[in-house]
Structure 1
């Protein structure tokens, strides 16, 4: 009497694509920061440089992590390729917005300096 009792196989979990998730959350945090600036513009004047720097850093994290997540997503058992693509696109947009804000702010200061410097 032999009984054929096999233990059920452990469920196979797909490995997490951690870089894709890091990219997604970094990009989502950047979007949240932009929304926070729009909702509370009174904080922009004293802390504008901090917001701009944070946008640049969040974008700088989202882009390489997104590319790494897309690369890891090519494996047959991988997932979260869409999150990685979202992080790449949004990360580049965050970098573009932060550079645009920097150029506009610097140009405005230069124009005000020229305007008030010539009124003497």
Structure 2
């Protein structure tokens, strides 16, 4: 999928949930999610150019799992709704996180810094 083709927000959240579910089932692959400001341009611009006063700025969310990529554009008016749905997905996926066990060397280092 190219960057110019964005899927609807609801479909993005469904596929993101599927990415997380598949990453649990099919092995330890990471799901990468990025968020950036987006003004609708598809070509790169020089760094000196920034958003202008009249530009309608939105966010672009991209997710990657293995070789699969998805992207969606979230308009400024829909950010709060999208963020609550996205947060619910992230919180639901934190169930299987485990605290990493410290080795003896790490315990000694943290003990030395506290003293």
Short-chain TM bin? 0.3 to 0.5
TM-score for the superposition, normalised by structure 2: 0.34
Structure possessing the higher radius of gyration over alpha carbons: 1
TM-score for the superposition, normalised by structure 1: 0.33
- The structure where helix makes up a greater share of residues is 1
Higher relative contact order (CA 8 A, sep 6+): 1
- The structure where strand makes up a greater share of residues is 2
